[in-house]
Amino acid sequence: MSREEVQLQWKARVDEFRESGQTAAEWCRVHSLNVNQFRRWIHKFPKQGTAESPSPTIRWLSVTTEDPTTTIATGPAITIHVGSASIEVQDGFNPTLLKQVVHALAE
Flag whether 106 is in a domain.
yes
* Residue 80, domain member (yes or no): yes
28 located within any domain: yes
Q: What residue numbers bound the domain in which 92 lies?
A: 74-107
pLDDT tens per residue, range 14-46: 999 999 999 999 999 999 999 999 999 999 988
Residue 52 DSSP code: S
Q: Angle CA(70)–CA(76)–CA(81) in degrees, nearest 5?
A: 90
Cβ atoms 103, 82 nearer than 8 A: no
Measure the CA–CA gap between 107 and 92, rounded to whole angstroms. Answer: 26
Helices (H) and strands (E) in the chain, counts: 4, 2
25 part of a folded domain:
yes
The answer to whether position 62 is within a domain reads no
54 lies in a domain? no
Kindly give, in sequence order, each residue whose CB lies less than 8 Å from that of residue 80, ignoring residues fewer than 6 positions away: 86, 87, 88, 89, 102
Total of domains in the chain: 2
The pLDDT value recorded for residue 71 is 59
40-97 pLDDT, tens digit per residue, is: 999 998 887 555 556 677 777 788 887 766 656 567 788 888 888 888 888 888 889 8
- Supply the pLDDT for residue 31: 94
